[in-house]
């Protein structure tokens, strides 16, 4: 199921269980003991807690009773609705919860084999780029013989309480789960990528076209086994968990458990009727307090839907915390939506397959500007380009690119209290097609994420064919930490870190020469090209000292806006730079003209409008068409 699973804190489940069975002793976890230190950051806040095993709480304990369901979870005396909401979403996806709860049949209590019980369980979470296997004992905190935290409707069902304990162990203690981000838990359960959607900023309540487009995205994520959560933003402390007149709760994470297009009408009328209602179903982790508006459990609107359709949707008239509402009403009341996509990288799938590149890096502060890797955001112009830099290629005419930057978790510090995340983000710059050394001067910024102190920052962006550099940063310079950068494209992007500032010197440098000059050639546009066709498919090739840079083909134009750059480290500054333009043909590409440039080392920047001419011709044999080119020339190689 996993290519690689790492034992959390070195504890091997199979080894520990075998030792317990051989000794006849139930497992007691020394890494997460049954003490107040495993409950609180600083001191007991709920009174005397007694740790009990499930068999001390009921006669016939089970992981699951009648399967697994979102209704199995109820939030206890902990402000972790974000975690419980994520669990509710997880419970609806068998393929996903079986990853989090591996070997669940083997882990179940077996009344026919009581000797196989060792008081030990294990669960798996995706943490900072790898799956970790977390071992726990089954001693759970109780007060007055009742579970303090997450629990099920059935008193003998314990999967939710045990998963919560394993998650609390990862974070250091239970109290570390008090207040958090549903997006983080969704990623930890799936290894997916969470995209936050601001419904207010997108004006989803008033913009019907945008709302319909969003519904299709939400439906696609749901149908492809993604997990979804939502909430109503609380703007003040008093707003937190305040109940609105319609029954919804502010500052509270809800799990989205279904998304449908519902047919209206009865019988054949419903079958042939084209009208479908966009509907979404949610669950309150409290297990009660539901939406009371249109399409709530007992509302009159359900009479518009056939009985068979209602049964298919699982409509029940009870205060179980789960309810339906129209997507229009959803966008009217909710402010934030989290879409956790499962990024499919399997070539055997019928769905879209993504190419994934994973980069690990660190922000490290050093005094030497060339070695410093903690320069802060672009507001700090003097140090911004000292951050880590990653180059990748978009090889299609246009491609949707998903980028996720994740910082290493800082919350699991129970003795000091919750650690604070850094404010992080990233910028994307379009660079020369042959860029292979670090940027030292600003380029064309084409996109950027927000800066926020969350664990992950996500961006989805359509990019044109070309080469790009991602610069992940902290907001302020000098801050240090580890990060994980994931880049998803339709075709391989060849993403890698840029580590060299300039061409390295070798033992052959003295004999073969070392670059004396660096020149950036930026071919902007061409006008009035004449080829074999009235409208051609031109492309440009830049050649300098044997190195070639070729632009993408521009379709059906005589005036292409090339906007293509090449970077050349030059050992022979007096030699010219050749720019040739061709027209793309099926058999043989036709030549449209060329120019040769001689850059002046004393000129930092110069722009030319040049007449095209035939190969080897003199200046007076100009061809129809002009070319606009900008040169940037440096004698110090690390200035560009």
In the residue annotation, 377 being an active-site residue is answered as no
C-alpha neighbours within 13 Å on the C-beta side of residue 627: 32
Question: CA-CA distance, 77 to 84, in Å (whole number)?
Answer: 12
Candidates 10, 150, 176; CA nearest to 90 is 150
In whole angstroms, give the CA distance from residue 238 to residue 215: 31
Q: Write the CA distances from 6 to 9, 127, 223, 277, 362, integer angstroms.
A: 9, 10, 30, 45, 21
Query: Do residues 569 and 503 make contact, with C-beta atoms less than 8 angstroms apart?
Result: yes
In the residue annotation, 621 being an active-site residue is answered as no
Dihedral, CA of residue 207, residue 212, residue 218 and residue 219, to nearest 10: 170
Catalytic residue from among 20, 62, 74, 81: 81
> What gap in Å lies between CA 550 and CA 48, rounded to an integer?
73
Q: What is the dihedral of CA 458, 463, 469, 473, to 10 degrees?
A: -20
Q: Does residue 284 have an active-site annotation?
A: yes
Largest separation between any pair of C-alpha atoms in the chain: 100
Kindly tell me the number of DSSP H helices and DSSP E strands found in the chain. Answer: 12, 27
Nearest 5°: CA angle at 575, between 570 and 576? 100
Q: Are 401 and 467 in contact (CB under 8 A)?
A: no
DSSP string, 154-174: STTB-HHHHHHHHHHHHHSSG
By DSSP bridging, strand 389-407 and strand 547-550 are: unpaired
Check 284, 387, 421, 583 and give the catalytic one. 284
> Could you say which of 41, 62, 222, 252 is catalytic?
252
As a 3-state breakdown, the chain gives helix, strand, coil percent values, each rounded to 5, of: 20, 35, 45
CA distance 292 to 84: 22
Residues annotated as part of the active site:
81, 252, 284
């Amino acid at each position: 199921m996993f290519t690689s699973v790492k034992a959390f804190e070195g504890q091997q489940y199979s080894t520990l269980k075998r030792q317990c069975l051989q000794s006849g002793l139930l497992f007691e976890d020394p890494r997460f003991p049954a003490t107040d230190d495993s409950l609180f950051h600083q001191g007991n806040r709920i009174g005397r807690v007694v740790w009990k095993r499930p068999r001390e709480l009921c006669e016939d304990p089970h992981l699951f009773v009648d399967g697994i369901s979102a209704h199995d979870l109820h939030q206890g005396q902990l402000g972790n609705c974000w975690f419980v909401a994520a669990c509710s979403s997880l419970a609806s996806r068998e393929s996903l919860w079986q990853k989090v709860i591996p070997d669940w049949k083997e882990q179940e209590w077996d009344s026919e084999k009581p000797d196989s019980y060792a008081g030990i369980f294990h669960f798996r979470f995706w943490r900072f780029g790898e799956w970790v296997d977390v071992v726990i004992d089954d001693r759970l905190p109780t007060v007055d013989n009742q579970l303090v935290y997450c629990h099920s409707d059935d008193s003998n069902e314990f999967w939710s309480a045990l998963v919560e304990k394993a998650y609390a162990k990862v974070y250091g203690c239970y109290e570390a789960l008090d207040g958090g981000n549903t997006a983080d838990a969704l990623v930890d359960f799936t290894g997916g990528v969470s995209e936050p959607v601001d419904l207010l900023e997108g004006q989803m309540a008033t913009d019907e076209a945008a709302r319909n487009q969003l519904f299709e995205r939400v439906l696609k994520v749901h149908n492809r086994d993604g997990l979804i959560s939502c909430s109503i933003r609380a703007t003040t402390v008093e707003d937190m968990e305040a109940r609105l007149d319609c029954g919804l709760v502010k500052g509270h994470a809800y799990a989205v458990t279904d998304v449908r297009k519902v047919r209206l009408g009865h019988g054949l009328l419903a079958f042939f009727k084209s009208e479908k209602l966009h509907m979404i179903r949610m669950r309150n982790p409290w297990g009660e307090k539901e939406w009371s508006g249109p399409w709530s459990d007992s509302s009159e609107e359900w009479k518009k839907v056939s009985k068979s359709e209602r049964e298919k949707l699982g409509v029940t008239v009870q205060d179980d915390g789960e309810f339906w509402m129209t997507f229009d009403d959803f966008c009217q009341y909710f402010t934030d939506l989290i879409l956790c996509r499962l990024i499919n990288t399997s070539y055997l799938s019928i769905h879209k397959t993504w190419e994934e590149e994973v980069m690990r890096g660190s922000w490290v502060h050093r005094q030497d500007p060339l070695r410093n890797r903690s320069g802060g955001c672009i507001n700090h112009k003097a140090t911004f380009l000292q951050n880590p830099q990653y180059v990748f290629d978009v090889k299609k005419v246009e491609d949707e690119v998903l980028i996720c930057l994740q910082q290493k978790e800082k919350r699991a510090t129970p003795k000091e209290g919750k650690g604070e995340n850094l404010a992080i983000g990233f910028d994307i710059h379009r660079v020369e097609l042959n860029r292979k050394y670090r940027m030292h001067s600003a380029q064309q910024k084409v996109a950027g994420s927000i800066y926020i102190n969350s664990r992950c920052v996500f961006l989805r962006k359509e990019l044109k064919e070309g080469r790009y550099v991602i610069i992940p940063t902290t907001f302020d310079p000098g801050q240090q930490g580890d990060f994980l950068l994931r880049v998803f494209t339709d075709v391989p992007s060849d993403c890698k870190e840029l580590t060299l500032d300039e061409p390295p010197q070798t033992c052959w440098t003295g004999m073969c020469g070392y670059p004396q000059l660096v020149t950036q050639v930026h071919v902007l546009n061409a006008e009035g090209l004449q080829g074999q066709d009235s409208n051609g498919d031109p492309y440009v090739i830049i050649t300098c000292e044997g190195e070639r840079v070729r632009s993408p083909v521009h379709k059906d134009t005589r005036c292409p806006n090339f906007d293509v750059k090449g970077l050349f480290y030059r050992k022979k500054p007096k030699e010219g730079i050749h720019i040739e333009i061709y027209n793309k043909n099926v058999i043989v590409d036709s030549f449209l003209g060329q120019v040769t440039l001689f850059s002046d080392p004393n000129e930092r920047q110069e722009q030319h409008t040049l007449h095209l001419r035939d190969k080897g011709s003199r200046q007076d044999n100009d061809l129809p068409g002009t070319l606009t080119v900008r040169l940037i020339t440096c004698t110090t190689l690390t200035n560009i």
